[in-house]
Amino acid sequence: MASAGEIVGLYRAMQRSARKFANYNVREYAKRKLREAFHENAGLKGEEAAAALAKAKTEAEVMKRQVEVYKMFGSAQKSVVELTGRNGVKKP
């Protein structure tokens, strides 16, 4: 059985990985899906929890690789959301 600290640590590590995506849409999608998956699996116990934790560890490694691939081949162009501020005014 995994400790709560291990689960929280995995969640935080995956959040850090998700923040490294350069593309706004990919970054926000990864963060949202991660948050939803952890909330969905919060009530699991026993074997189901162990299986979910193993899957999360595997997906953490996949996310790290995806970040590196996006760094090599992703577009450096910023999205409109990143170019404008919250009030819709273009950032300098």
Q: What pLDDT, in 10s, does the model give residues 6-59?
A: 889 999 999 999 999 988 888 999 999 999 999 998 888 889 988 999 999 999
Contacts of 70 (CB under 8 A, 6+ apart): 21, 22, 23, 26
Model pTM score: 0.76
